[in-house]
Copies of this chain bind each other. A is one copy, B any other.
Amino acid sequence: MSNQQLTHIDETGAARMVDVGEKPHTERVALAESFIRMQPATLALILSGGHKKGDVLAVARVAGIMAAKKTWDLIPMCHPLLLTKVAVTLTPDEQNHGIHILAECRLSGQTGVEMEALTAASVAALTLYDMCKAVDRGMVIEYTRLLEKHGGKTGSWVR
């Protein structure tokens, strides 16, 4: 692999926001996931209240959506872009004692939206940690990873 394969690094080793001006505008979509493991009692606490506890999941969902829009301001070499869709789905998993987070981002543009989906999933997970840390400081965000992406020169990628 040559030096140039790290596209954000130029031939002198300096970071740059790579030029995407020549790339075509195509439909882009990315799906990312994260999982936060917790004590069974913590999960029960989130779920037991029924709609009264709805805000825990709602707050994490909103945080993930808003974070996707801030990705360009968090990840130094990310391009600003115009997301046309962001959805964050939170699924309690009682068997594995945790909450699964799925983030989907879409746009039509010159750059992919993998970072936006990964950022949405990460921040939703961090928000769940924040909402529950008073009762369970040992929660772990067990993985954050890209599931699939479509569009752009490199086409589709599926884990």
Which residues of A are at the interface with B, using a C-beta cutoff of 8 A?
1, 3, 5-10, 12-21, 27, 41, 44-46, 49-56, 58-59, 61-63, 65-70, 72-89, 106-110, 114-115, 118-119, 122-123, 125-127, 129-135, 137-146, 149, 157, 159
Contacts and interface: CB of A to CB of B under 8 A. Distances in A.
Say whether chain A's binding surface is mostly helix, strand, loop, or mixed.
mixed
Given A134-B6, A144-B144, A77 B65 contact: yes
Nearest to A58: B58
A134 B51 CA distance: 25
Contacts of A83: 17, 79-80
Query: 3 shortest A-B CB distances, which residue pairs?
Result: A51-B51, A13-B52, A19-B85
Nearest to A120: B17
A141 B130 contact: no
A21 B107 contact: yes
A16 B87 contact: yes
A15 to B, nearest CB: 4
A130 B8 contact: yes
A59 B55 CA distance: 9
Contacts of A75: 63, 123, 126-127, 130
22 contacts: A3-B49, A6-B53, A6-B134, A6-B135, A8-B131, A9-B55, A15-B58, A15-B62, A15-B65, A16-B87, A16-B88, A17-B86, A20-B84, A20-B85, A58-B59, A59-B77, A65-B77, A66-B74, A78-B130, A114-B133, A122-B123, A122-B144
